[in-house]
């Protein structure tokens, strides 16, 4: 009897986790650009068993990803939908220079993923420097509590890559929960 209760609770928790992830992705849904209003694709992904890639589109005018993977694997992306620009660098200073070139007073959308966010492991010092750069330009960052936040659901994905304007393609990254 106790095992049945435990199994029921475990399955219920897993179901709620799955629903929560889908709920977070709902405002921007992980769909092809034709199914989203902006059509400005920023992430290409392949689902498990999927043949055709799908795309995650930026609905806000501006967005960014700070992909803090480890000591040598950082990547920084800045998205400018009005100008149709997707900037990428591995250099933190270069990323901050591009942030400082954004128009004053805009709203910027940090793009997150379900589970561990892209910024996971980023030192508070760097986060404070980014906050300071945004504040100096009077740029409002959409907070994690904002209903308009963007969260890409990476559950059940085989691979993904963040799109950028550089000539050299970025190889797909294996998904790590």
Indicate the pLDDT class of residue 98, thresholds 50, 70 and 90. Answer: very high
Indicate the pLDDT class of residue 27, thresholds 50, 70 and 90. Answer: very low
Considering the entire predicted model, what is its pTM? Answer: 0.71
Note the pLDDT of residue 11.
35
Note the pLDDT of residue 170.
47
Nearest Cα to 149, choosing from 14, 59, 19?
59
More confident residue, 18 or 37: 37
Q: What separation in angstroms does the CA of 167 have from each of 33, 41, 42, 79?
A: 21, 16, 15, 16
């Amino acid at each position: 009897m106790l095992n049945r209760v435990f199994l029921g609770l475990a399955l219920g928790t897993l179901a709620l986790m799955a629903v929560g992830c889908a709920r977070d992705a709902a405002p921007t849904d992980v769909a092809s650009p034709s199914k989203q209003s902006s059509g400005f694709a920023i992430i290409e992904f392949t689902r498990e068993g999927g043949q055709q890639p799908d795309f995650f589109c930026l609905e806000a005018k501006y967005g960014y990803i700070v992909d803090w993977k480890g000591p040598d694997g950082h990547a920084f992306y800045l998205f400018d939908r009005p100008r149709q620009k997707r900037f990428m660098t591995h250099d933190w200073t270069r990323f901050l220079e591009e942030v400082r070139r954004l128009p004053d007073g805009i709203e910027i959308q940090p793009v997150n993923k379900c589970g561990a966010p892209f910024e996971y492991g980023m030192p508070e010092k760097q986060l404070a420097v980014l906050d300071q750069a945004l504040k100096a330009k009077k740029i409002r960052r959409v907070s994690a509590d904002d209903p308009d936040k963007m969260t890409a659901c990476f559950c059940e994905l085989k691979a993904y890559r963040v799109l950028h304007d550089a000539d050299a393609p970025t190889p797909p990254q294996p998904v790590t929960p």
